[in-house]
Amino acid sequence: MSGGSATTAALGVLRRDLLLALRRKSDALAPVFFFVIVASLFPLGIGPEPELLRRIGPGVLWVGALLATMLALARLFASDYEDGTLEQLALSPEPFVVLAAAKVAAHWLVSGLPLIVAAPVLALQYGLPADTIAVLVVSLLLGTPVLSLVGAIGAALTLGVRGGGLLVALIVLPLYVPALVFGAGAVDANLAGTGAAAHLSLLGACLVIAGFFAPWAITVALRIALE
């Protein structure tokens, strides 16, 4: 099949998933609501201590974003699996790996991108300076796609398994650690004045590796689930 038609099919999958998210706004907005709630409760619980809040801010924001992206993972392939759409995806003449990547892209656009938009506002509650907020946004831009890609592997592996939601968390959380360490580390480093470039480069490397290998792993896992 030509590259053009594969792109058309992938865009078709992306469009369909975004349309479905639009029709189910409450589901689609759950991750960003969760993120806002978690990130707002911490300052309230800890109290007005600017120094302490600034210290914990990067870590809390990153952990909040990480947990928020996990919320929608369980449904990523499950609804397609239940209604038979996944079989049609697997039997499409277009490469399955491209279609799976399109589904992950849709997941990131729906549950990753809004977090990045909300993050600067939430960061204000922790008294982070402007340039640190910029680093936070960049680190989330590089990091949340990693979370979506790695999370999708877990979602594909647990497809059709009872209690899959908990299993996804168990599989995926250890794999999230590098993204969390480099992401929160970048923001911390900027706060400490040592420069975030090294952490961001490592996070970028994580994204390249995940972007290259995750779609293949997802495809293999989905094919096994369909057998």
Tokens matching residue 174: 């250890």
Contact in structure between 212 and 86 (CB atoms under 8 Å): no
Least distance in angstroms from the C-beta of 164 to other proteins: 19
Q: Which of residues 5 and 194 has its CB atom nearest to other proteins in the complex?
A: 5
Subset of residues 56 to 95 that bind other proteins, contact rule: CB under 8 A: 82-85, 87-95
Given 3, 23, 50, 193, the residue binding other proteins (CB under 8 A):
23
Q: Considering the rule CB under 8 A, would residue 188 count as an interface residue with other proteins?
A: no
User: Which 3 state secondary structure label does DSSP give 19?
Assistant: helix
Work out the widest C-alpha separation in the chain, in whole angstroms. 60
Does 131 bind other proteins (CB under 8 A)? Our answer is: no
Q: Is 49 in the site for other proteins (CB under 8 A)?
A: no
Angstrom distances, CA of residue 174 to CA of 7, 86, 136, 167: 33, 27, 22, 12
Gyration radius of the chain's alpha carbons: 18
- Shortest Å, Cβ 19 to other proteins: 7
Binding test (CB under 8 A) with other proteins, winner from 7, 19, 177, 212: 19
Closest CA to 120 of 109, 107, 131: 131
CB closer to other proteins out of 46 and 223: 223
Closest approach of Cβ 14 to other proteins, in Å?
A: 11
Distances in whole angstroms, Cα of residue 136 to Cα of each of 75, 108, 222: 28, 17, 33
Residues near other proteins (CB under 8 A): 1, 5, 8-9, 12-13, 16, 19-20, 23-24, 82-85, 87-95, 99, 226-227
